[in-house]
Amino acid sequence: MNDNVIDELKKVLPEDRILLQEPMRLHCSFRTGGPADLFLRVSSREELEGVLRILRQAQVPTYLLGRGTNVLVADEGIRGAVVTMTDRMDRIEVSGNTVTAEAGAPLSRIAAAAKDHGLTGLEFAAGIPGSLGGAILMNAGAYGGEMKQVVREVTMLKSTAASDQGSSGTEDTVVTIPGEEMEFGYRTSRVKTEGGIVLSATFALEEGDPAEIAAKMEDLAARRRDKQPLEYPSAGSTFKRPEGDFAGRLIEEAGLRGFSIGGAQVSEKHCGFVINRGGATSADVMAVIDAVRARVFETSGRMLEREVIYLGM
Indicate which residues carry an active-site annotation.
187, 237, 307
Quote the strand ranges of the chain, DSSP E.
18-23, 35-41, 62-65, 71-73, 78-84, 92-95, 98-102, 119-120, 141-142, 145-146, 151-158, 173-178, 197-204, 206-207, 260-261, 264-266, 274-276, 309-311
DSSP conformational letter for 17: G
Euclidean distance between CA atoms 25 and 237, whole angstroms: 19
Q: For residue 194, what are the CA distances in angstroms to 77, 183, 227?
A: 26, 10, 35
In contact, 162 and 64? CB cutoff 8 Å: yes
280 φ/ψ sector (left φ>0, alpha ψ -120 to 50, else beta): beta
Count Cβ atoms within 10 A of the Cβ of residue 312 and give its class: 0-12 exposed, 13-18 middle, 19 or more buried: buried
Which residues, 6 or more positions from 115, have their beta carbon under 8 angstroms from its beta carbon? 122, 123, 126, 210, 213, 214, 217
End-to-end CA distance of the chain: 19
* 86 close to 68: Cβ distance less than 8 angstroms: no
Q: What is the dihedral of CA 128, 130, 136, 141, to 10 degrees?
A: -20
Specify the amino acid at residue 173. Answer: T
d(CA 6, CA 11): 9
